[in-house]
């Protein structure tokens, strides 16, 4: 596997999606680069062995949903693989997070699994609510940014 040079959303029949893997969600610039391309759903597969690591991923994923006005789905691995090195313990709780505004859940959680249980969650997300938020939300973080003071510049495109 080899790292790429681009951060690019994928146009799918479910909307514009992006992917950051585990630790990458802790860097807001990556998700912001997607958001500037019209990101609607960010997927974050992760593997954390402790609850501390999980909380970093979860908290940052929730922040990405709020600051980029998008849905964020985190999907982690639970259980153990005793015959696989470094896979003897994991902690996860998969979830779908929303922006924070009147049309969304007050806790920004659309759906979540039971902590450390093997299960699948399904959540319907309304992309029209994102459009409404972008245009008429009580707070519009994407619109109100100060491009005259700062911006994200992707070095690979320089």
36-83: pLDDT as tens digits? 999 999 999 999 988 999 999 999 999 999 999 999 999 998 877 778
CA-based max dimension of the chain: 54
Count Cβ atoms below 10 Å from residue 67 Cβ, excluding itself: 17
- Name 23's Cβ contacts closer than 8 Å, sequence gap at least 6: 57
pTM of this structure: 0.92
Domains of the chain: 10-157 (3.60.110.10)
């Amino acid at each position: 596997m080899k790292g790429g040079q681009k951060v690019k959303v994928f146009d799918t029949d479910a909307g514009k999606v992006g992917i950051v893997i585990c630790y990458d969600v802790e860097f807001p610039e990556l998700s912001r680069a997607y958001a500037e391309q019209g990101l609607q759903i960010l997927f974050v597969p992760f593997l954390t062995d402790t609850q501390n690591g999980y909380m970093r991923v979860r908290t940052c994923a929730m922040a990405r949903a709020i600051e980029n006005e998008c849905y964020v789905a985190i999907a982690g691995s639970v259980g153990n693989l005793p015959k696989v090195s470094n896979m003897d313990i994991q902690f996860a709780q998969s979830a779908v997070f929303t922006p924070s505004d009147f049309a969304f859940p007050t806790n920004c959680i659309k759906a979540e699994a039971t902590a450390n249980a093997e299960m699948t969650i399904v959540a319907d997300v309304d992309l029209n609510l994102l459009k409404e938020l972008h245009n008429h939300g009580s707070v519009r973080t994407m619109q109100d940014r100060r491009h005259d003071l700062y911006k994200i510049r992707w070095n690979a495109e320089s």
